[in-house]
Amino acid sequence: MKVLKFGGTSVGSPERMKNVAKIIDDNNRKIVVLSAVSGTTNSLVEISSLAEKQLKSEAKKAIEELEKKYAIFINDLLNNETAQKEAKELIFNIFETLKTLADSPFTVRTEKRILAQGEIISTNLFQLYLKEQNISSVLVSALNFMRIGKDDEPDYFYIKENLKRELKAFPDTQIIVTQGFITKNVYGEIDNLQRGGSDFSASLIGAAIKAEEIQIWTDIDGFHNNDPRYVKNTKPIRELSFDEAAELAYFGAKILHPASVLPAKLQNIPVLLKNTLQPEAVGTLITREEKGDGIKAVAAKDGITSVKINSARMLLAYGFLRKVFETFEKYETSIDMITTSEISVSVTIDNIKNLAKIEEELQKYSSIIVEHEQTIICVVGNFIAEKTGVALKVFEALGNIPLRMISYGGSMHNISLLINTKDKQKALELLSKHLFETSNE
Ligand code: ASP
């Protein structure tokens, strides 16, 4: 059985939702995971923040605006009167719940419950459409089987056992529809897998049922060899290994949630990235196979801060790096890149929430230089160790763009470079020109 996940833009209008129904209706049993209609989760975040600030009438206004959008959506999606009536009732109830939530004392639970409504709406409307089209289908709530533990990590055993039970109840149904993103937590409360988490849901579901394939449908035909938002003439990559895909997903290529690679990799389930707007396009297939060598793609991650920790005490000392890392760990800040010299170490972080406390602690034994507005450029491929020249190609391409940090050799799949964000556009263009336009890779 396959698992197919459709993102927000793929269900972003009634037309697009109908198109998804066409794509999935091929007489094969499958699980279909949906995101919220594009823009909805952002609106819900806004509603939740208004509610948190006790701006009740603004929150109510925002809820009513969203409700209006869905009234139009339903009219365009459904033809038959019974389905329309059912959809209107459903929307009415969900928006009443939202109004009540926005009006009640605000807690973290309120926020999670508000955010969950986007996927609940999209899956219910989609299921009503499938029913209207006489397509054999059922909606199984993700809240019946998806669960995260105390550490916010998925509870693999629980998910597997409970999903198995849910699926057993509908042995002959062709399409099982469920929500991405939403989950229960260890206390049985509604929670979520973080923004963009529907990909992760699909991967967890795929791993739980040992799916034949996990398909992630978005509005682009797979991973491209450079960022199409900044560079012209980028090309889709046909095949990637799990490790290459994880690097690209983490370092900026917005098409796949980075967490979603691991569950698929652990169960060795191929992940196929497809484009709803161009279903015939091949897309990108991610598997265990490490095919082809050389540079395959470039991605960039903004919002990076570098921290240079300089200390004479590092000279010939052991345990210094442990001390540095422990400080970052203590303040729950993860490090992306690291480079060292004999008396200093530089790291990058993308979360500066606790930076002041980290600095204070590190300053006890070192001097610190912090630089914001940095970008990590990540060059991904299969860099066979015996083959030289990959790094040279990258440096030559970048010409005189100042490089703040270089990380090479950590894996066979990645060269990371830290540059100033103001040089990003130029760096991506130069890399495209020199790595992909003049060679056959
Ligand atoms: N709807 C959620 C979001 O916008 C989850 C997802 O689409 O993956 O972040």
Q: Domain map of the chain by residue range? A: 2-219, 296-440
Q: Render pLDDT for 274-287 as a digit per residue (tens, 0 to 9).
A: 999 999 999 999 99
| Ligand 1 pocket, residue 417 CB under 6 Å | no
Q: Residue 121 C-alpha to ligand 1 middle, in angstroms?
A: 13
Q: What is the mean pLDDT of the chain?
A: 94
Q: What class, spelled out in words, does domain 296-440 have in CATH?
A: alpha beta
* Ligand 1 atom having least distance to the Cα of 118: 1
| Ligand 1 pocket, residue 12 CB under 6 Å | no
Ligand 1: residue whose CA is nearest its atom 6: 196
| Ligand 1 pocket, residue 195 CB under 6 Å | yes
* Ligand 1 atom having least distance to the Cα of 197: 8
Q: Residue 40 C-alpha to ligand 1 middle, in angstroms?
A: 9
Judge contact between 247 and 309, C-beta under 8 A.
Answer: no
* Ligand 1 atom having least distance to the Cα of 193: 5
CA 423 to chain centroid: 25
Between the alpha carbon of residue 308 and those of residues 202, 323, 366, 372, the distances in Å are 39, 14, 10, 12
Q: Render pLDDT for 351-379 as a digit per residue (tens, 0 to 9).
A: 999 999 999 999 998 999 999 999 999 99
| Ligand 1 pocket, residue 9 CB under 6 Å | no
* Ligand 1 atom having least distance to the Cα of 200: 8
Structure tokens at 393: 């190609």
CA nearest neighbour of 266 among 198, 211, 185, 222: 211
Judge contact between 73 and 128, C-beta under 8 A.
Answer: no
Instruction: Please give the sequence-ordered ranges of beta strands (E in DSSP) within 221-349, or none if there are none.
Output: 239-241, 271-275, 284-287, 294-310, 335-340, 344-349
Rounded to whole angstroms, the Cα distance separating 394 from 417 reads 10
| Ligand 1 pocket, residue 414 CB under 6 Å | no
Question: What local confidence, expressed as pLDDT, does residue 293 receive?
Answer: 82
- Global pTM value: 0.91
| Ligand 1 pocket, residue 36 CB under 6 Å | yes
pLDDT-derived band at 126, boundaries 50, 70, 90? very high
Q: What is the rounded average pLDDT of the residues 328-339?
A: 95
Is 50 exceeded by the pLDDT of residue 440?
Answer: no
Ligand 1: residue whose CA is nearest its atom 8: 196
Q: Residue 7 C-alpha to ligand 1 middle, in angstroms?
A: 8
Structure tokens at 438: 């003049």
| Ligand 1 pocket, residue 41 CB under 6 Å | yes
Rounded to whole angstroms, the Cα distance separating 18 from 126 reads 8
CA 352 to chain centroid: 20
| Ligand 1 pocket, residue 217 CB under 6 Å | no
| Ligand 1 pocket, residue 48 CB under 6 Å | no
Rounded to whole angstroms, the Cα distance separating 168 from 154 reads 22
Identify the CATH number of the domain defined by range 2-219: 3.40.1160.10
Question: What local confidence, expressed as pLDDT, does residue 439 receive?
Answer: 47
Strand partners, 295: 381
Q: Residue 79 C-alpha to ligand 1 middle, in angstroms?
A: 28
Q: Render pLDDT for 7-24 as a digit per residue (tens, 0 to 9).
A: 999 999 999 999 999 999
Rounded to whole angstroms, the Cα distance separating 352 from 374 reads 13
Pick 218 or 343 by higher pLDDT. 218
Length of the chain: 441
Question: What local confidence, expressed as pLDDT, does residue 343 receive?
Answer: 85
Question: What local confidence, expressed as pLDDT, does residue 254 receive?
Answer: 77
Share of the chain above pLDDT 70, in %: 97
pLDDT-derived band at 314, boundaries 50, 70, 90? low
Q: What is the rounded average pLDDT of the residues 292-297?
A: 88
Structure tokens at 46: 């806004």
Question: What local confidence, expressed as pLDDT, does residue 441 receive?
Answer: 43
Question: What local confidence, expressed as pLDDT, does residue 410 receive?
Answer: 86
| Ligand 1 pocket, residue 381 CB under 6 Å | no
β pairing state of 213-218 and 414-420: unpaired
* Ligand 1 atom having least distance to the Cα of 7: 7
Q: What is the rounded average pLDDT of the residues 379-399?
A: 85
CA nearest neighbour of 398 among 421, 420, 426: 426
Pick 438 or 238 by higher pLDDT. 238
Is 80 exceeded by the pLDDT of residue 315?
Answer: no
pLDDT-derived band at 388, boundaries 50, 70, 90? confident
Q: What is the rounded average pLDDT of the residues 196-214?
A: 97
Close Cβ partners of 189 (under 8 Å, ≥ 6 residues apart): 109, 112
